[in-house]
Amino acid sequence: MPELRKDPITGRWVIISTDRSKRPSDFSREPERKMTSVCPFCPGNEEKTPPEILAYRVNGTGPNKPGWNVRVVPNKFPALGIEGAMDKRGEGLFDRMNGIGAHEVIIETPEHREKMAEYTEKRLEDVLWAFRDRMLDLKKDRRFRYILIFKNQGEAAGASLEHPHSQLIALPIVPKRVQEEVDGSKQYFNMKERCIYCDIIQQETDSKVRIVDKNDGFVTLEPYAPRFPFETWVLPLTHESAFENAPSHLYENLAMAMKNLLTRVDKVLDTPPYNFVIHTSPLNEASNDYYHWHLEMMPKLTKVAGFEWGTGFYINPTPPEEAAHFLREA
Amino acid sequence: MPELRKDPITGRWVIISTDRSKRPSDFSREPERKMTSVCPFCPGNEEKTPPEILAYRVNGTGPNKPGWNVRVVPNKFPALGIEGAMDKRGEGLFDRMNGIGAHEVIIETPEHREKMAEYTEKRLEDVLWAFRDRMLDLKKDRRFRYILIFKNQGEAAGASLEHPHSQLIALPIVPKRVQEEVDGSKQYFNMKERCIYCDIIQQETDSKVRIVDKNDGFVTLEPYAPRFPFETWVLPLTHESAFENAPSHLYENLAMAMKNLLTRVDKVLDTPPYNFVIHTSPLNEASNDYYHWHLEMMPKLTKVAGFEWGTGFYINPTPPEEAAHFLREA
């Protein structure tokens, strides 16, 4: 009998198939096309990107020259523009504003072929510090309400360039799903005076069935009502509402947790395309007791049918307990 | 300058790219794989599906034999099971229930290769009547809260069989996005004592920029804040909250509107994969003044990156005014 499960934070129900439960080898994969043009993110091609905003460099190397370890540049084809006024306006019953925002690319490594799971922990930590540095800088711009950090790995997951990179988008609005999480966790806090994520961590750590891994700072688990097979969350063990406010030692722990997770995922699912997104508090309520920042990781294993977008109703062919088992044993 | 637009019903903001606006020929397509195994939906293979629930037949032909024009069967691999009790239970702070529901397949034509845009209006109308007949029957089951009708056309849109078909899922819960629409339109009604969809139809009909087509019963338009390029809605001109309650002549009008839309879409976008979903009121509030049933159609043109699922925040590379222009001129 399949099961209907409700995400306790957003209230979304999902179908978890049990009869036709999919194992890791059941997911078919489309071959990646090789991208052959000159890579604008490789060392030596620095002039092919807009001038860098931030770079962690070998001492003595100059900006927009080789010698960097991590490099942040504006997206050459930004989804939003940094200059100008918001110009909020109605159009009859509709609402619009100018697409003001920042769209940056974090080039994670000089090595074109290196996978994130292969980074040294130091490199991964540097990438996380770059996220943080950029967030702290962009937070000063009062037009922004939210900073979105995400990675699309592989063509099927939406990456248009092969060279390892992640992206940052600063927005004058709060994305809908994040707002739902914030609202849901606020509602829970009003009822219980506790953070719902802290409660979930407690319950999951006790039951262990959906836990993948744990270190001094983070727990990696499969959520109870995941929309996608092998959807995985990485949560700080101690309550903290904003990514950029985490104490320094946590970035080291997070780098370890991510490397651990990606290594397991690559092993179990044969280096799949994937996405991750950092979910953190909106900028105007960065420090609070109800929201708990975390990282959500989704391997791209299934085609999402339009009815799932059309309705917000998802059918997940792999129970999270089984996914956790596979990842734990890897 | 890109634009941020807010969907007035659900409150979701989307980015509408204008600088790098995509024209119909800019979307790249993956080749469809030919599916070669024996088709269980073709006439003569009736025994390869579970016994039929409904069929519109040539007089004198018996059930589960050739001679049908439209045939409805249970899905052989249902996402939900029809038998059993709900067994709603908590698991600590989580909620679950048994996956009780109906999952049916509407085989729309005996012709394996016929596309929906090529159907006679009579055939399309018959398909709509089959939707309605099944809805009216399943409504009697008090366990169900919502009946979802959708079509996945083409492999990239999630279809696993080539033979033209649509699907019906009866659910003991209301899908999240539908619930958001119902809540949003209820809120608007409480403020204005008017249906928000009726107001949108009025404003759009006046401004004309996002209108694709109109007949006696329906208007076809591009929504103001679409998540996907060429996302299109077909709405009844007269307020009606539930698909299955529409007066009979409207099914003829809807068949005309759908044929018209699909013909335009196939012409402009070169017969793309697509999905449509009927959005109708939840069963326990089928007749009301605030919600307006409609059909949402989404050609599958772009890869949805994980950050869009992860955040509910969408970047749409084609302004709806341009999409409407292309479809109108086709």
pLDDT reported for residue A239: 97
Answer yes or no: do A279 and B310 touch at CB < 8 A. yes
Q: Which residues pair with A274 in a beta bridge?
A: A153, A299
Residue A1 confidence (pLDDT) above 90: no
pLDDT reported for residue B275: 94
Question: For A81, which of B2, B5, B92 is closest by C-beta distance?
Answer: B2
Residue A256 confidence (pLDDT) above 90: yes
pLDDT bin (cut points 50, 70, 90) of residue B35 is low
CATH architecture of B3-25+46-329: 2-Layer Sandwich (3.30)
Residue A275 confidence (pLDDT) above 80: yes
Q: Which residues pair with A5 in a beta bridge?
A: A14, B96
Question: Mind telling me the catalytic residues of A?
Answer: 165
pLDDT reported for residue B311: 80
Amino acid found at B156? A
What is the nearest CA distance from B61 to chain A, expressed in angstroms?
Answer: 34
Nearest chain A residue (CA) to B198:
A93
Q: Which residues pair with A213 in a beta bridge?
A: A220
Question: Mind telling me the catalytic residues of B?
Answer: 165
Residue in the block written with tokens 């900006």 = A63
Q: Is B13 on the interface with A (CB under 8 A)?
A: yes
Residues of chain A with pLDDT > 90, as a percent, come to 78
Better pLDDT: B67 or B27 = B67
Q: How far apart are CA A57 and CA A66, in angstroms?
A: 9
Q: How far apart are CA B42 and CA B113, in angstroms?
A: 10
Better pLDDT: B81 or B65 = B65
pLDDT in tens, B209-229: 999 999 999 999 999 999 999
Residue A321 confidence (pLDDT) above 80: yes
Region A285-310: what's the mean pLDDT? Answer: 88
Region A40-47: what's the mean pLDDT? Answer: 97
Best of A204, A304, A307, A314 to mutate (most B CBs within 10 Å, chain B): A307
Question: For A93, which of B175, B199, B310 is closest by C-beta distance?
Answer: B199
Residue B28 confidence (pLDDT) above 80: no
Better pLDDT: B21 or B116 = B116
pLDDT reported for residue A17: 82
pLDDT reported for residue B304: 74
Residue B182 confidence (pLDDT) above 90: yes
What angle do helix axes B249-269 and B121-138 make, rounded to 10 degrees? 120
> What are the chain A neighbours of B171 within 8 Å (beta carbons)?
313
> What are the chain A neighbours of B276 within 8 Å (beta carbons)?
306, 310
Residue A178 confidence (pLDDT) above 80: yes
pLDDT reported for residue B291: 97
> What's the distance, Cα to Cα, between the start and end of chain B in Å?
28
What is the nearest CA distance from B230 to chain A, expressed in angstroms?
Answer: 13
pLDDT bin (cut points 50, 70, 90) of residue B19 is low
What is the nearest CA distance from A54 to chain B, expressed in angstroms?
Answer: 23
Question: In this structure, are residues A261 and A116 in contact, taking their beta carbons and an 8 Å threshold?
Answer: no
Residue A11 confidence (pLDDT) above 70: yes
pLDDT bin (cut points 50, 70, 90) of residue A184 is very high
pLDDT reported for residue B20: 61
pLDDT in tens, B279-329: 999 999 889 999 999 999 999 988 777 678 778 888 898 999 999 999 999
Answer yes or no: do B20 and A77 touch at CB < 8 A. yes
Region B142-168: what's the mean pLDDT? Answer: 93
Query: How do strand B146-153 and strand B94-98 relate by DSSP bridges?
Result: unpaired
> What's the distance, Cα to Cα, between the start and end of chain A in Å?
28
What is the nearest CA distance from A85 to chain B, expressed in angstroms?
Answer: 11
Residues of chain B with pLDDT > 70, as a percent, come to 98
pLDDT bin (cut points 50, 70, 90) of residue A19 is low
pLDDT reported for residue A309: 74
What is the nearest CA distance from B19 to chain A, expressed in angstroms?
Answer: 9
Q: What is the mean pLDDT of chain A?
A: 93
> What are the chain B neighbours of A77 within 8 Å (beta carbons)?
20
| Range A3-329 classified under CATH 3.30.428.10 | yes
Chain A to chain B Cβ contacts (< 8 Å): 224
pLDDT bin (cut points 50, 70, 90) of residue B236 is very high
pLDDT reported for residue B90: 93
* pTM, rounded to two decimals: 0.93
Alpha carbon B139 to chain centroid, angstroms: 19
Region B234-263: what's the mean pLDDT? Answer: 96
> What are the chain B neighbours of A172 within 8 Å (beta carbons)?
4
Q: How far apart are CA B202 and CA B311, in angstroms?
A: 32
pLDDT reported for residue A77: 87
Amino acid found at A21? S
What angle do helix axes A121-138 and A249-269 make, rounded to 10 degrees? 120
Residue A35 confidence (pLDDT) above 70: no
Q: Which of residues 171-210 of B touch A (CB under 8 A)?
A: 171-173, 175-178, 180, 196, 199-200, 203, 207
> What are the chain B neighbours of A228 within 8 Å (beta carbons)?
309
pLDDT reported for residue B16: 87
Question: For A98, which of B3, B178, B298 is closest by C-beta distance?
Answer: B3
pLDDT in tens, A50-71: 999 999 999 999 999 999 999 9
Answer yes or no: do A99 and B15 touch at CB < 8 A. yes
Q: What is the mean pLDDT of chain B?
A: 93
Residue B59 confidence (pLDDT) above 70: yes
Nearest chain B residue (CA) to A301:
B306
Answer yes or no: do A306 and B300 touch at CB < 8 A. yes
Question: In this structure, are residues A67 and A59 in contact, taking their beta carbons and an 8 Å threshold?
Answer: no
Q: Which residues pair with A166 in a beta bridge?
A: A106
Region B257-281: what's the mean pLDDT? Answer: 96
pLDDT reported for residue A20: 61
Secondary structure (H, E, C), chain A = CCEEEECCCCCCEEEECCCCCCCHHHCCCCCCCCCCCCCCCCCCCHHHCCCCCEEEECCCCCCCCCCEEEEEEECCCCCCECCCCCCCEEECCEEEEECECEEEEEECCCCCCCCHHHCCHHHHHHHHHHHHHHHHHHCCCCCCCEEEEEEEECHHHCCCCCCCEEEEEEECCCCHHHHHHHHHHHHHHHHHCCCHHHHHHHHHHHHCCCEEEECCCEEEECCCCCCCCCCEEEEECCCCCCHHHCCCHHHHHHHHHHHHHHHHHHHHHCCCCEEEEEECCCHHHCCCCCCCCEEEEEECCCCCCHHHHHHCCEEECCCHHHHHHHHHHC
